[in-house]
Amino acid sequence: EVQLVESGGRLVQPEESLRLSCSASGFTFSDRGMNWVRQAPGKGLEWISYISGSSSTISYADSVKGRFTVSRDNAKNSVFLQMNSLRDDDTAVYYCARRWFGEPAGAFDLWGQGTMVIVSS
């Protein structure tokens, strides 16, 4: 089955760190750029990070640059998001999403179910 499954979300205190994982199955993972998108409670979607299939291209939204690091392990069909110095406004559902094949600015054609991160003291 073609799917993405996120894990790792939990309640953490401000300034703590957390690592999210996204496990892919059913497609050639190394061929696909992958993204992280988050959605704060009751709010809209916010793109936060992209990593190309070979990890040669990585980008971040300004809101997380310098605090979050994206990586991937193609042998394990997984993409990760290391989140440091977490703040209250990082509270959100975090989705991983696959970029459309062969289109640099392509749509995100496959999404996971999301994992919830709550940052609160």
Partner 1 sequence: QSVLTQPPSVSGAPGQRVTISCTGSRSNIGAGYDVHWYQQLPGRAPTVLIHASTNRPSGVPDRFSGSKSGTSASLAISGLQAEDEADYYCQSYDSSLSGWVFGGGTKLTVL
Distance between CA atoms of 19 and 30, rounded to whole angstroms?
21
Residue 86 vs residues 15, 23, 52, 63: alpha-carbon distances, Å: 5, 23, 25, 11
Cβ proximity to partner 1: between 56 and 121 the closer is 56
Q: How many residues bind partner 1 (CB under 8 A)?
A: 23
Within 10-29, the residues that bind partner 1 by CB under 8 A are none
Contact pick of 16, 31, 88, 103 for partner 1 (by CB under 8 A): 103
Selected from 107, 116, 117, 120, the binder of partner 1 by CB under 8 A is 107
Instruction: Tell me how far apart the alpha carbons of residues 33 and 73 are, in angstroms, rounded to a whole number.
Output: 12
Find residue 117's DSSP bridge partners. 92
- Near partner 1 in 38-97, by CB under 8 A: 44-47, 50, 59-62, 95
Cα dihedral 24, 29, 32, 34 sign: positive
Specify the residue, 72 or 99, whose C-beta has the smaller distance to partner 1.
99
Cβ contacts of 104 within 8 Å, gap of 6 or more? none
Please state the closest distance from residue 61 (CB atom) to partner 1, in A: 6
The residues of the shown chain that bind partner 1, judged by CB under 8 A, are: 35, 44-47, 50, 59-62, 95, 100, 103-109, 111-114
